[in-house]
Structure 1
Amino acid sequence: MTTDDKERPDPLFNQSLEKGLEVLRAFSAVHRTLTLAELAALTGMTKSSAQRTIHTLERLGYVDKHPQTRRFRLTPRVMEIGYNYLAADALIPIASPYLSQLANASGETANLTEPVGLEMVYMAQLVTAKHMPVLTPVGMRIPMYCTSSGRAYLSTLPDERVRAMLEASARTPRTPVTLTDVETIFERVVACRTVGYACNEEELFLGDMGIAAPVVNSRGEAVGAVHVSPPASRWTMVDAQKKLGPLVVECAWAISRSIAH
């Protein structure tokens, strides 16, 4: 594809749909409610364009407006879109019994994540009764560069692609110990290929660690990762690697074997 081909407008691209999705994505834990002016600023739209878009979404039932404050918020109907993906994802029902076994054997919450761009998204979670210092619900997105599941996924890719994805990542220090140097992170990714699992020690959240292994399909391509998040209050990284590492690898291998048939 030439540069001219890339710059040529796509006649099938629907800009109105793009704007609608941008408005929906503007809402977050930080922006639970938004005014029209705030929506326009966050999406880069004109106020009139944002007004037409949010009005359409309101009519369709995906957002509503507080009668007094006039601030917009998402409605539960938005979850229908995400649920439809979860319901159609064949990996989740296959992985669930193995995640349950991992949670029981480890005593820690077991998670399945899948890649989206430079992030991993929580797709399934088997929760234990033990306290978790950080809430990580299904649907939450976490960056690849500083998480065990992201590094486990990256470990299955060619070196040049790993470096390119790390270079493209923001690599923002999430905690005082977050690794941000590309070569240093790359070394952690490569190490996963040897031991079978990747680690994260309080790089995303303080008090929270991670041990993860990749899930691959019949062609050897990574489709996700399994991980547990042992809290620093109950585990040292050395103990987590020794005791939880083999359990996570076994779980990921069992899921991979199941989807290969």
Structure 2
Amino acid sequence: MSDSNNPLFNQSLEKGLAVLRGFGAARRTMTLADIALEAGISKSSAQRMVHTLEELGYIRKHTQSRRFQLTPKVMEIGYNYLAADILVDVANPYLAELNQITGETINLTEPDGLDMVYVSRFVAPKFIPIHMPIGSRIPMYCTGAGRAYLSGLGDDEVHRLLASSKRVELTRHTLTDTAAIFDRVLTCRKLGYATNQEEMFLGDMTLAAPIFNSNGVPVAAVHVVVPTSRWTLQDAEDKMASSVIQCARAISNSIRTL
């Protein structure tokens, strides 16, 4: 949470970033009034922010609709993070190998707040029901990757993160009770991998394992997407769980030597 009372805190920068974050799949284009509302700032402040971002090339106004939209230059910021992320470079060969072994889509996610963020992805040649591009966010509480990451934390921190999560029932299979979710986290600690059975998207299951740094702190998770059109969860666990665990351990061992 930001400390806006700190004299070093730049509120103008905060507002500019709020404008950029206001855009998304549900708000691909916005009017100035829309931007002010989404960013939680006044219209005059939004006008200054938009003008600056437009001059810098991060926002443009559509010539016909006169609505504002993001430009591809925004991706430069995210790309710079990925380019500087040593974990992605180290993990990619292992992810590619797991992709070949399983024949299914493999993802690497890193924690951010109450979410896991996709930072690398090796897509299966077969059909997958859900497309999750790099930068997509998934909640920790109801995903295999999230539970795998949580399994590496202390109990108090796990309970704090679960209590802070909204725990929305995304499908009829979503676990929202903190005790039930915590049981899944404990199971992951015991088995070395976590599961998600259609809790976020129908037709989508995952197996995930945590990645640890040299201090034994969880820093990411690797997961394989298991479509219900091709797998039962039990069959996937029997045939893929050990490979997912081995992949996560190989990545963990590699980053410990850096």
**Alignment TM-score, normalising by the size of structure 1:** 0.96
Q: How far apart are the structure 1 equivalents of 2:254 and 2:4?
A: 44
Q: What corresponds to 2:235 in structure 1?
A: 239
Q: Amino acid of the residue matched to residue 90 of structure 1?
A: I
SS of equivalent residue, structure 1 residue 10: coil
Residues in 2 aligned to 1:68 and 1:126: alpha-carbon distance in whole angstroms:
38
- Partner Cα separation in structure 2 for residue 189 and residue 55 of structure 1: 47
Write the letter of the residue equivalent to 1:189: V
Select the residue among 128, 132, 148 that pairs with 1:132.
Answer: 128
Aligned equivalents of 2:5, 2:150: Cα separation in 1: 33
Identity across matched positions, percent: 58
Q: Which amino acid aligns with 1:33?
A: T
SS of residue matched to 1:213: strand
What does residue 173 of structure 1 align with? 169
**Equivalent position to 1:63, from 59, 62, 65:** 59
Where 2:180 maps in the other structure, the secondary structure is helix
Output aligned runs, 1:162-241, within 5 Å.
162-241=158-237
Q: What amino acid maps onto 1:246 in structure 2?
A: S
SS in structure 2 at match of 1:56:
helix
Query: How far did 1:144 drift?
Result: 0.3
Root-mean-square deviation over aligned CA pairs: 1.1
For residues 241 and 227 of structure 1, the distance between their equivalents in structure 2, rounded to whole angstroms, comes to 12
Q: Amino acid of the residue matched to residue 226 of structure 1?
A: V
Offset at 1:240? 1.1
Does 2:87 correspond to 1:91? Answer: yes
Q: 4+ runs of 1 displaced by more than 2 Å?
A: none
* 1:14-29 correspondence runs (5 A): 14-29=10-25
Instruction: Supply the distance in 1 between the matched residues of 2:120 and 2:48 (Cα, whole angstroms).
Output: 36
Which structure 1 residue ranges, 5 or more long, are not aligned? 1-5
Amino acid at match of 1:161: E
Q: How far did 1:7 drift?
A: 7.8
1:69-128 CA-to-partner distances (Å, cap 9, x unmatched) read: 111110000000000000000001110010011000001011100000110000011112
Q: 2:145 is paired with a residue of what secondary structure?
A: helix
The residue type equivalent to 1:39 in the other structure is I
Give the Å deviation of 1:8.
8.3
- Check the 8 A contact 2:119/2:134 in 1, yes or no: yes
Residues 147 and 184, structure 2, Cα contact 8 Å, conserved in 1: yes
What letter corresponds to residue 228 of structure 1 in structure 2? V
Partners of 1:252 and 1:260 in 2: CA distance: 12
Report the number of matched residues: 256
Residues 4, 11 of structure 2: 8 Å contact kept: no
Indicate the residue corresponding to 1:72 in structure 2: 68
